[in-house]
Amino acid sequence: MKNYCGVIFTLVAALLLVGCGPSAKEKEAARAKSAAEEKARLKEISEKRRADRLAQTPAKFKNVASARLEPGYVHVLNQDGKKGMFPLAGLSDVEKEWIEEFAKANPLAKGKGSVVTAKAEVKKTIEKQSTENGVETVQLCPPAKLRDQIGGTCMYYGRVHYLDIAGYPVEDVEINRTINVIPKDNPFVDYRYFVGMMGLFLKQKPSPLVHFPNGTIRPFDWARQELRKGRPILAALPEDVWMSLPADFLSTHPWDGNSKVGHQVVLNGFTYNPTTGKGTFHVINSWRSLAEFDVAVDNSEERRIAIEQSLSPKGEAPEVLEKIVAGDITELKPVGKQFLYEVQTNLGTQKVVAKSEADAKAFVEADRGEKDMETIFGEFVCEIYDYIYQNVDAKIRDQAAAELFSEIFKIPPTVTLPHVDLEVKGSLGKTYFVRVAPTKVVKLMAESTGDALNQAKRLTPAKS
């Protein structure tokens, strides 16, 4: 009987213990408390890591005393009293985060006087624009200072004159910084030639607005259209045009171009008779002994003179352009892993290299309207990067691009790789320039900084 009672007592005790355990509501509350504690712990870790990041002053801001954020830029006042300005597009995520917090704690006040924001006065480049007896004449101003190229450096001096006409003069010290360190007769073999040449544009404020033919109108017609707007043209003359110049000039200035580019010059005027299709282009040369001359042209010679780009006068606002609408798209031929398409648009026919018809359509219809200065700066850097990879010798183009980015964004040699040097937001998505080695920067389309870094890591060979 006692054993039976003991069994009963044990069963009752077990049932009582089970009944006294936590209810479902209590278990849920315990789980919620645990999750909240874990969330608080992770938040504390994240805040500590952030505090640690902010405690480490980025190298480029070591001497900053105060800062003020503006759209696209950060203005700083250094401890020595000097002022500076950095484009936000050129800062890493860590640098942006640091300077944003620093500016909150150490704001840089605007001047005590009232600030009036006004449009910069547009450089007046057109000196003559008329039509007489059916002949149209447009003449832009010459450079304020005519230069004399040294050796085979016409590409460099051509750009100096080009910028000067548009209102962006270049100081002698800036020219000498490049010209004095490169081989004068064969500058193309030195990456510093291209870094210096592209730097002429990137150091200008505001960023110069450069325009390129889009293939919808004939090259000479496009050049005349741009000159009518007061925009000088960067062009290249072929050898046969050069050899038609005066003999006394040629005796001391032999041909210095090559089959791919030609001799770099600037076009700053034209005459044109639309009835006959004949006319001239007025040339600014980079030899002072023949600083200016006219070249006779007609429409049949359009392939002989390379029309490269035009430059807006300083202060000219970005154009509000008519929206392009794509129509019929025809695949012409494969180009590597992509295809060359002919796209009919409301503004004419364009040829585009793309992966698909949809990409070709998107490229043609991309927004060409007004852009903020940060976007303009980013797109300008894209154009310069592409120019280097299309025109610079393969042996030095990686180093040229990497050194140029180091100069623009002050990338320290100790930076952790891969490193995002620049993010550019465009109508087709985000473009990232990622440094994968001290002398190599790659251009990638990506969804985010993290995605760009992951893509770059896959491109970087693993260390053995």
- Dist. CA 124–CA 2, nearest whole Å: 117
Angle (CA) 216 159 307, round 5°: 25
> 3-state class of 461 per DSSP?
coil
Answer whether residue 294 shows pLDDT above 80: yes
**pLDDT score of 244:** 87
- Most confidently modeled range among 3-17, 37-51, 108-122, 280-294: 280-294
Q: Bridge-partner residues for 76, per DSSP?
A: 67, 84
**pLDDT score of 12:** 44
Considering only CA atoms, which of 381, 377, 312, 317 is closest in space to residue 162? 312
Residue showing tokens 């001290």: 438
Between these two residues, 119 and 166, which has the higher pLDDT value? Answer: 166
CB count in 10 Å sphere of residue 383: 14
Q: How confident is the model at residue 81 (pLDDT cuts 50, 70, 90)?
A: low
The DSSP secondary-structure symbol of 452 reads H
CB count in 10 Å sphere of residue 59: 12
Q: How confident is the model at residue 112 (pLDDT cuts 50, 70, 90)?
A: very low
Percent with pLDDT over 70 in the chain: 82
**pLDDT score of 30:** 77
**pLDDT score of 311:** 93
**pLDDT score of 54:** 63
Answer whether residue 240 shows pLDDT above 90: no
- Residues 23/29/34/37 CA torsion (nearest 10 deg): -160
Please measure the distance between the N-terminal and C-terminal CA atoms of the chain and give it in whole angstroms: 80
**pLDDT score of 11:** 44
Q: Residue range 60-81: average pLDDT?
A: 75
Answer whether residue 181 shows pLDDT above 90: yes
**pLDDT score of 31:** 80
Q: Residue range 275-281: average pLDDT?
A: 93
pLDDT (tens digit, 9 = 90+) per residue, 124-145? 999 999 999 999 999 999 999 9
Q: Where are the domains of the chain?
A: 55-105, 119-142+214-316, 322-367
**pLDDT score of 114:** 36
Q: How confident is the model at residue 22 (pLDDT cuts 50, 70, 90)?
A: low
Based on DSSP, count helices (H) and strands (E) in the chain, helices before strands. 13, 17
Q: What are phi and psi of 311, to 5 degrees?
A: -135, 125
Considering only CA atoms, which of 52, 106, 98, 112 is closest in space to residue 79? 106
**pLDDT score of 281:** 96
**pLDDT score of 412:** 81
**pLDDT score of 73:** 65
pLDDT (tens digit, 9 = 90+) per residue, 201-221? 878 888 788 888 877 788 999
Answer whether residue 464 shows pLDDT above 70: no
Percentages helix, strand, coil for the chain, rounded to the nearest 5?
A: 40, 25, 35
Between these two residues, 123 and 408, which has the higher pLDDT value? Answer: 123
